[in-house]
Chains A and B, each alone.
Chain A
Amino acid sequence: MGILGSYRMRLIRKRLRIRAYGKGFQLRPAVDRTAQLQAQDILLFAVLRNDNLRLPHFLQYYRDLGVSHFLLVDNGSTDGSAEYLATQPDVSLWRTMGSYRKARCGVDWLNYIKGRYGHGHWCVTVDADELLVYPFCDTRPLRALTDWLESCSVRAFSAMLLDMYAKAPRDDASYVRGQNPIDTACWFDSGNYTVSHNPLYNNLWIQGGPRARTQFADKPEQAPALNKIPLVKWHRKYAYVSSTHMLLPRGLNLAYGAWDGDKASGVLLHAGLPGATTLADGADQSTAITDGSAGEAQPWCRWSEKYVNWRQLELLGLMSKGNWA
């Protein structure tokens, strides 16, 4: 990519920043506790919609990893999410009735908030049904990872989205608020992913898994992208391009080993619960698994793997501890 190409990327990034600024006007602060932010804090950003059922576990999971503050956008929830979040001491909440789709699946809103509060922080950007697993996450807090990444002069950490499902759909229905969704949705596909390289943004493009297998078998090119970069040492000039699949400037997308060896990477356990994802905006949360709904093929098969821990995922080649020991 020559000077012109790089300049074009710069313009795209500028446009995204401006767009984020514009969409920022849709956000109304509901609970603002950003005065609590400390320079060293690890922050979490997410857009929510009727996720009340899974919020308690979600917040607790990331608190345990060492996230200090949650900066959340509530896109018109009607299930009491906002009221619940207002009672949480480490949550700042914005509300908007704007269109999720027109904000490009919430990316614009989060780009705006991150530009404002995320600068200089390590920022986790996930959905409410995604749980981050990284090397040694059972013994080392997130801060250990970010300290290490920083000592390696690495700014971004990639994680593959791993669709989790239950063995039978009724296991899903029995989810109790506060419970770990992975307790029931503990199965995943271990080895049917395809990887290709996107030369424009230099990111990897991973597809496959149960959704590709059961819902996109006849149109695999449309199967959802599973490559994500959820953890970034944010700078106000950065911008996510689409979901957390890729970023600008492009150097941030090189969160994988392109020249030698692996870079450390993680996995986002993605537990879609059919009961908890009734969305008004139609196909908005295209990421939710719709197993259990009528006519869908069951994702569970005899080759499904049962989730144990991150070491298992590493042995399967779904994540890597890279140089970290």
Chain B
Amino acid sequence: MTFGVVMLVHTAFDRAEQAARHWSAFGCPIVVHVDRCVDRKTRDAFARAVSDLPNLSFSRRYRSEWGTWGIVAATQYAAEQMLARHPEVNHVFLASGACLPLRPVSELAAYLAARPETDFIESVTTADVPWTVGGLQEERFTLRFPFPWKRRRALFDRYVALQRRLGVKRKIPNGIVPHMGSQWWCLTRRTLSAILRDPSRARYDRYFRRVWVPDESYFQTLVRRHAIQLESRSLTLSKFDRRGRPHVFYDDHLPLLRRSECFVARKIWRHSDQLYAAFPIHRPTGQVAREPNPGQIDRALAKAVETQAPINPALHMRSRYLWHSDDTQMTAAPYSVFQGFSDLFENFEAWLTRATEARVHGHLFAPDRAHFTSGQTSSDGALSDSATLRDYNPHAFLQNLIWNTRGQHQCFQFGPADNQSINWQVAKDPNARISVITGAWAIPLFQSADDFGTLRKRAARFQKIESEHLKVLGSSWTKARIRIWTLADFVATPMEPLLTILNDIGSTSPRGLSEVPRMADLDGFGAFLQKLKNEGMHPYLVGDFPVEPMPLEEDDARRERPYLVG
């Protein structure tokens, strides 16, 4: 008792010959199907090359285009030929020319001999598989697919759309429940002949002729009618990427394949000389062979696919640009924007650096240059502080900064004097945490020694810019986490907002909060605001700031500035 191999070949005949020799060396009978599209010369050369193999025969040739019935017809015919000509065969193994046995063929033979009643075929219902080529799942079985997907894509798509619109639904023949699975199976003689001699076969064939990709569903469905003992897995290691294309194995997969302990793998790239030299492995007799363990390969390949699927906005790739979508404007990690804080507090940046593990920049979008942390003239990724370079594409500047420093929370100061062109993108960015003290721009004006007329004009301009910005932050497209206080409210109770922004950053310094920042001296600020009002400029963004210093509570009277003990 042995097993026979049905080989479907359409390209890479040198490698197909190599695979055939592996099978033949162990004495497996082989039936080869050569695609009808292969020209005569190539086919004859192949036939000559394998003419010395005793148990090899060729089957009738069909045109087997991907996704069409031809492959199933070819398989049926070749399987019939195998069963008729080789009565000693108990299992039939379906392989392709790009299949390579990883383990000695004798181990596969022993494995099958120990399980004479078992069919190895992946067979699952449509609801359970994530294959998505063309986005068709159930519809594979309920629509008609007379056009090949690869050659006649437009016709294929239009015909599908037309059927959907007309609401056409094919009736699935009685007695079968559609199942799908890997094309590569290994069935027992009993099951295979039961499928091929099924009294209703003509009816099923007629149905599957118009099903899409019948090679992944014909045997997978019918086996459910006849199998006694079915293992729903393929003995052939064959992986698909998320677009449904088979993964190809290259020389660098060698260690992975070796550890997988799978019997057969596909597809092997035809020029992978190392793989073809290394497999099938020679196992010294006496060494215990293990069960196939494709899990490791699954994990390795899944990892490769995961990072791409569907879109990982945290990854920046130069080969991706979703120009039709807003989502391309995403940054890689959370970051904080502080507006007004450095005006209200002296050395706010230094304090925030001490209080958190974040990197705190100054006004990155200042008109003169990008004020990176601690006065650097450039930052990670060789990002320049030049205002011209930055303003050429301010949002790319921000994206680059966040991407280059991923792993560390970034904070920067912002204000109405800065480049405002990023406001929309930052507001729409879910990674942004924006904290604003409205009207804080009045404090540097108050401290300034400039002529009051100039200050008044500047105040009016800043107020206009800031209120535009606040409109953006309040819009319904905003996705950033936003906190807004008026200057008056903030000054009245500074501790709570400060703790809130520290929580937003998340990574507070291990030393804990040991100090609060020093607030600017606001004696006379109320009077300054009143003077602005008297000049006809109403600084409403500051909030309701008292003209006289606030009446402090008795025990706080001696402390002019908030202070935290401990």
Contacts and interface: CB of A to CB of B under 8 A. Distances in A.
B382 A301 contact: yes
A256 B241 contact: no
Interface stretch (A10-18, A93-101, A142-150, A168-176): A142-150
B324 to A, nearest CB: 7
Interface in A8-39: none
Contacts of A256: 318-321
Interface string B247-282: 110111000000000000000010100000000000
Contacts of B311: 260-261
Nearest to B301: A325
Contacts of B304: 321, 324-325
B460 interface: no
A264 B396 CA distance: 22
Contacts of A251: none
A265 B319 CA distance: 6
B42 interface: no
A252 interface: no
Contacts of A322: 308, 319
Interface stretch (A76-84, A124-132, A210-218, A278-286): A210-218
Given A258-B322, A303-B383, A323 B317 contact: no
Interface stretch (B180-188, B385-393, B512-520): B385-393
A192 interface: yes
B321 A258 contact: yes
B533 interface: no
A80 B211 CA distance: 64
A212 to B, nearest CB: 7
A152 interface: yes
Interface residues of B, number: 46
B384 A318 contact: no
A148 B247 CA distance: 9
Given A139-B252, A323-B242, A317 B383 contact: no
Given A139-B252, A304-B382, A323 B243 contact: yes
B404 interface: yes
Nearest to A198: B323
Contact of A190 (B305, B378, B382): B382
A195 B395 CA distance: 10
A114 B490 CA distance: 69
A105 B136 CA distance: 48
Contacts of A148: 248
B245 A151 contact: yes
B310 A261 contact: yes
A206 interface: yes
Nearest to A188: B382
Interface string B298-320: 00110011001111000111111
Given A218-B388, A317-B403, A325-B305, A189 B381 contact: yes
A87 interface: no
A147 B245 CA distance: 13
A191 B324 contact: no
B271 A136 contact: no
Nearest to B332: A317
Contact of B319 (A158, A210, A218, A220): A158
A233 interface: no
B304 to A, nearest CB: 4
Contact of A196 (B381, B386, B393): B393
A89 interface: no
A192 B383 contact: yes
B404 A136 contact: no
B400 interface: yes
A205 B468 CA distance: 31
Interface in B222-259: 241-243, 245, 247-248, 250-252
B250 A144 contact: yes
A246 to B, nearest CB: 14
A102 interface: no
A237 interface: no
B380 interface: yes
Contacts of B316: 317
A158 B301 CA distance: 23
Contacts of B378: 301-303
Contacts of B380: 190-191, 303
A322 B393 CA distance: 26
A148 B400 CA distance: 31
15 contacts: A140-B251, A144-B250, A147-B269, A158-B319, A189-B381, A191-B382, A191-B403, A195-B318, A217-B384, A220-B389, A259-B324, A265-B317, A319-B318, A320-B317, A320-B319
Interface of A: 136, 139-141, 143-144, 147-148, 151-152, 158, 160, 189-197, 199, 204, 206-207, 210, 212-213, 217-221, 255-265, 301-305, 317-325
Given A141-B271, A147-B248, A190-B404, 12 more contacts: A143-B271, A189-B382, A192-B382, A195-B321, A196-B393, A220-B388, A220-B389, A260-B310, A265-B319, A302-B378, A317-B318, A325-B300
Q: Which 4 A-B pairs rank lowest in CB-CB distance, beginning with the nearest?
A: A191-B381, A265-B319, A325-B304, A191-B404
